[in-house]
Amino acid sequence: MLKKITNLLTATIILAASTFGFSAYAAPIVVKFSHVVAENTPKGQAALKFKEIAEKKLPGKVEVQVFPNSQLFGDGKEMEALLLNDVQIIAPSLSKFDRYTKKIQVFDLPFIFKDGNAALAFENSKEGKALLTSMKGKGLIGLDYWSNGMRHFSANKDFKLPKDIKGLKFRIQASDVYEEIMKSVGASGQKMAFAEVYQALESGVVDGQENSFSNTYSQKYHEVQKTILETNHGVLDYMVVVNEKWWDGLPADIKKGLSEAMHEATILNNQIAKQKNDDARAAILASSAANPKHAKIVKLTDAELAEWKKAMEPVYKRFEADIGVDLIKAAASHSNKK
């Protein structure tokens, strides 16, 4: 008799739970976060931090699954996967949004930011924040920017000036601005997914590439390149984006918890980004000292740097109409130029 009553009670509770959605019986919402870089990078670490905080803030309500190293989706596929809700969060480099908005191309203009802090100041400005919602009509919402670091060119030969890379082929991200940048110095750019770059450099499919020290070191590009020229020609930062429909459909408490977790992950990311890049630079120097076949890091004098800037200047004109003069001015204002 007692058993019967207990069974009846259990059945009633389960029925009530399924009818009214009691969370004690609901499965956690799975949030897949896919990215293309190694775990020991600013983005890799920040994604893990987001998982840790989100699951702590929303115990039993969300499960965040992080997939690094293009394990789940690589470049080219991750944006489509997000729109299909096959993945819920991605954090592509700002060079990879060409197809969704022309405005974000502003980040790729050569030498527009004198350093990572200038880029961060623009990201936190009114104009920078407005870009987070500029792809709403396309189904994407940006939650935040994450910093990585400044970009530098590397090649399988010694080079110092634009004329030295004439005719060489460089792997570039899926960015029309970078295609023009390479043309402006007489080289060519080949758009290629991040996961394919090491192999392409090693086999000579491309002669060079451009990236942050953190990516260069964690992907071992320095082992298959001869020279890394410290050009600081651009910033490699990210926008953390979600599928608009999925995000808007989340229960209020989940959305709040995930937003707070994202905020904390952003703070961590931006605190560690510079250090991670400085450490990677030091590790590349050590590696080149121990093995002369590994790339050396070459610095530029002011006069040499001026040659790179001058050669790339026409790129601005080419994209001015698409991006908008005011936005270019706003971005450049944080470096006290233009």
The neighbour count for residue 38, using CB atoms within 10 Å, is 16
With beta carbons less than 8 A apart as the criterion, state whether 146 and 112 touch: no
Binding of residue 93 to ligand LMR (CB under 6 A): yes
Task: Give the integer Cα–Cα distance in Å for 108 and 94.
Answer: 8
Nearer to ligand LMR, 93 or 231 (CB): 93
Q: Does 105 engage in binding with ligand LMR (CB under 6 A)?
A: no
CB of 146 to ligand LMR, least distance (A): 10
**Degrees (nearest 5) of the Cα angle 117, 102, 97?**
70
The two three-digit tokens of residue 301, written as one number? 């004098």
Q: What binding mask, one character per residue, do residues 232-261 give for ligand LMR by CB under 6 A, x or -?
A: ----x-------------------------
- Cα 313 to chain center, whole Å? 25
Residue of 33, 113, 122, 194 that binds ligand LMR (CB under 6 A) = 194
Nearest to 223 by CA among 204, 207, 202: 202
Shortest Å distance, C-beta 218 to ligand LMR:
9
Which are the contacts of 287, defined by CB distance < 8 A and separation ≥ 6? 222, 223, 294
Residue 330 tokens, joined: 């706003």
Is position 173 an interface residue for ligand LMR (rule: CB under 6 A)? yes
To the nearest whole angstrom, how small is the minimum distance from the Cβ of residue 273 to ligand LMR? 11
On whether the CB atoms of residues 165 and 155 are closer than 8 A, the answer is yes
Taking a C-beta distance cutoff of 8 angstroms, is the pair 308, 233 a contact?
A: yes
Radius of gyration of the chain (CA): 23
Q: Give whichever of 142 and 257 is closer to ligand LMR, judged by the CB atom.
A: 142
d(CA 231, CA 278): 15
Alpha carbons 256 and 258: distance in angstroms, whole number: 6
CB 170 within 8 A of CB 206: yes
CA–CA separation, 299 and 278 (whole Å): 15
Pick one of 31, 36, 66, 206: the residue that binds ligand LMR (CB under 6 A): 36
φ, ψ of residue 237 in degrees (nearest 5):
-120, 170
When the beta carbons of 218 and 227 are compared against ligand LMR, the nearer one is: 218
Minimal distance, residue 168 CB to ligand LMR, in Å: 18
Contact pattern from residue 130 through residue 169 relative to ligand LMR, giving x for each residue in contact according to CB under 6 A and a dash for the rest: ------------------x---------------------
β-bridge partners, 67: 34
Least distance to ligand LMR, CB of residue 26, Å: 34
* Cβ closest to ligand LMR, residue 239 vs residue 328: 239
Minimal distance, residue 148 CB to ligand LMR, in Å: 6
CB of 236 to ligand LMR, least distance (A): 6
173 or 270: whose CB is closer to ligand LMR? 173
How many of the chain's residues bind ligand LMR (CB under 6 A)?
Answer: 9
Pick the binder of ligand LMR from 31, 37, 168, 332 (CB under 6 A): 37
Residues 215-234, interacting with ligand LMR (CB under 6 A) = 215
Q: Give the 3-state secondary structure of residue 150.
A: strand
Q: Which is nearer to ligand LMR, 93 or 288 (CB)?
A: 93
Q: Which two three-digit tokens encode residue 185?
A: 């110095």
> Of these, 88, 105, 211, 218, which contacts ligand LMR (CB under 6 A)?
211
Do 64 and 31 meet the contact criterion of CB atoms below 8 Å apart? yes
DSSP state of 142: E
User: In the bound complex, what is the minimum distance in angstroms from residue 27's beta carbon to ligand LMR?
Assistant: 31
Minimum CB separation from ligand LMR for residue 319, in Å? 19
Chain residues in the site for ligand LMR (CB under 6 A): 36-37, 93, 148, 173, 194, 211, 215, 236
